[in-house]
């Protein structure tokens, strides 16, 4: 019972059942990991196209196209399996670092249950994030455990390239294995010189050059202009990104009760913080000797490098997963320095109870958001007479707030109408367009609807709150 995977595997069927109950919202309906019924090897999907080159996601969408009823359950199963195998690799790497049995236990469960995993593991379009991390971890593990210069670096290069084809941030893993092996050489029992580190980084540069060359050579469309959402952010938004990056693994608080105004409950937030923070405090205070070790600072550097592509562009709760393995290893290394094992166990159990509550609360909100999206989609279908191929949607904005992919605005849960084809067996509509109008402009709906019908749309839906109402042509008015 001292093996963490005893508990993980015993709870896996229940965890998998809960995750598979989550329904798509928001970007889940517009990304490549939805059912696709066209050419499996369409150049637009499998070749570099603007900011993306994710052939595995494209092929996964084609697999779903064989039977659209597999969506989103198959997505969930693949994601949970990827997270499980990443946990196994984290355990094996920690064992390679000669962690104590208790620290192995802490490291593995820290990775498996930390709130940092929620955005990716509870997601549906996050297969790329999960498997980019998994292949990056495999590159690191093989680099640490294999001998032979060409064999060792060749396996690392292959895994890093696969990680990058899963998601572009995987390229950051090209730098990590040599740095990790150098900075933790004492714990690994293998001395590594600076010359060997530089040699490893030459391989890293070669991986980057090969990837970028292939990306340019096989591009379907050039990278989008720099004025896209990934590069537009204010200083305040960057500070928020850094707080998310640091806070989700290290500050155990129920973020639903803090961040999302409609669900704000400072009593719950305070209770989770008071019960969970002592464990982090024990690591910081009782395990403070770790701060004098170069190995710890190497892990911290690897943690930042893992997440750096997201920190430099766009950072959300899903992206916190990118550095979670390194954060877990940092926690395990600090735990090894704590002399009072009783205190460590007691505070860790309290932390476990807190994160289990946080994870469950986020699951509940994700579940309700998915139900809202399904309800609205069925309303749209049931209120529409016959199959309408071109639909226009008027979304009335009441200033609702959201919290990442957990507490989703109803119109986003409805995915601006892109969810509807799934509930019609992908028979209709073929085209969906939308306009957002403020609640103060609600009186303009007849005019906007008339304009849509004049442009050749077959039907108009009005979305207000979590309701979808059909607006037939006879209601529309061209007059203000």
Average pLDDT of the chain to the nearest whole number: 92
Q: How far apart are CA 215 and CA 137, in angstroms?
A: 23
Query: Which pairs with CB-CB distance under 8 Å and at least 24 residues apart come from 447-452?
Result: 447/477, 447/478, 447/479, 447/480, 448/394, 449/392, 449/394, 449/475, 449/476, 449/477, 450/476, 450/477, 450/478, 451/478, 452/392, 452/394, 452/476
Confidence at residue 235, expressed as pLDDT on a 0 to 100 scale: 82
Angle at 345 between CA 339 and CA 347, to 5 degrees: 105
Q: Strand, coil or helix: what is 112?
A: helix
The top-scoring range by mean pLDDT among 84-88, 195-199, 458-462, 473-477 is 84-88
For residue 429, is the peptide bond before it cis, meaning its omega torsion is within 30 degrees of 0?
yes
Of all helices (H) and strands (E), which one includes residue 395?
Answer: strand 390-397
Full-model pTM: 0.94
Q: How far apart are CA 349 and CA 330, in angstroms?
A: 18
pLDDT tens, residue by residue, 3-35: 999 999 999 999 999 999 999 999 999 999 999
Q: Does 228 have pLDDT greater than 80?
A: no
Q: How far apart are CA 112 and CA 108, in angstroms?
A: 6
pLDDT tens, residue by residue, 265-316: 999 999 999 999 999 999 999 999 999 999 999 999 999 999 999 988 888 8
Confidence at residue 313, expressed as pLDDT on a 0 to 100 scale: 86
Interval 148-163 mean pLDDT: 90
* Residue 185: HSE in the Cβ half-sphere, 13 Å Cα cutoff: 11
Confidence at residue 51, expressed as pLDDT on a 0 to 100 scale: 84
pLDDT tens, residue by residue, 164-208: 999 999 999 999 999 999 999 888 888 888 888 898 899 999 999
Interval 251-277 mean pLDDT: 94
Q: How far apart are CA 316 and CA 318, in angstroms?
A: 5
pLDDT tens, residue by residue, 321-348: 999 999 999 999 999 999 999 999 999 9
């Amino acid at each position: 019972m001292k093996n963490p995977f005893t508990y993980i595997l015993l709870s896996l069927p229940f965890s998998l059942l809960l995750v598979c109950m989550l329904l798509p919202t928001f970007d889940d309906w517009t990304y490549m990991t939805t059912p696709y019924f066209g050419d499996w090897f369409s150049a637009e999907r499998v070749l570099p196209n603007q900011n993306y080159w994710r052939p595995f996601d494209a092929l996964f969408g084609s697999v779903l196209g064989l039977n659209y009823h597999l969506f989103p359950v198959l997505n969930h199963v693949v994601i949970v399996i990827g997270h499980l195998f990443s946990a196994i690799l984290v355990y094996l790497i920690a064992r390679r670092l000669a962690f104590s049995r208790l620290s192995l236990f802490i490291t593995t469960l820290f990775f498996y249950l930390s709130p940092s995993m929620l955005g990716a593991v509870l997601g549906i379009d996050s297969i790329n994030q999960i498997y980019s991390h998994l292949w990056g971890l495999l590159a690191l593990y093989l680099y640490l455990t294999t001998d032979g210069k060409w064999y060792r670096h060749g396996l690392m290069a292959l895994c890093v390239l696969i990680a990058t084809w899963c998601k572009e941030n995987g390229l950051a893993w090209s730098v990590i294995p040599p740095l990790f092996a150098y900075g933790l050489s004492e714990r690994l029992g293998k001395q590594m010189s600076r010359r060997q580190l530089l040699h490893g980084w030459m391989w890293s540069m070669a991986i980057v050059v090969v990837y970028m060359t292939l990306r340019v050579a096989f591009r379907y469309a050039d990278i989008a202009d720099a004025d896209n959402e990934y590069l537009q952010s204010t200083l305040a938004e960057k500070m928020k990104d850094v707080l998310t990056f640091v806070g989700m693994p290290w500050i155990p608080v129920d973020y639903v009760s803090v961040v999302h105004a409609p669900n704000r409950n400072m009593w719950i937030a305070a209770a989770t913080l008071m019960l969970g923070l002592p464990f982090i405090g024990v690591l910081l205070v009782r395990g403070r000797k770790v701060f004098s070790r170069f190995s710890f600072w190497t892990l911290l550097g690897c943690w930042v490098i893992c997440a750096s592509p997201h920190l430099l562009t766009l950072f959300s709760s899903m992206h916190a997963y990118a550095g979670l393995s390194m954060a877990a290893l940092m926690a395990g290394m600090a735990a090894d320095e704590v002399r009072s094992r009783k205190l460590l166990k007691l505070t860790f159990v309290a932390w476990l109870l807190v994160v289990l509550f946080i994870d469950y609360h986020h699951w509940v909100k994700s579940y309700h958001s998915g139900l809202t999206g399904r309800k609205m989609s069925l309303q749209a279908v049931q209120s529409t007479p016959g199959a309408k191929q071109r639909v226009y949607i008027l979304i009335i904005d009441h200033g609702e707030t959201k919290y990442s992919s957990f507490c989703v605005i109803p119109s986003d849960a409805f995915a601006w109408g892109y969810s509807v084809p799934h509930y019609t067996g992908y028979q209709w509509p073929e085209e969906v367009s939308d306009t957002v109008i403020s609640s103060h402009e609600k009186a303009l709906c007849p005019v906007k609807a008339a304009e849509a019908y004049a442009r050749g749309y077959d039907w108009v839906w009005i979305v207000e709150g979590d309701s979808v109402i059909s607006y037939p042509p006879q209601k529309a008015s061209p007059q203000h």
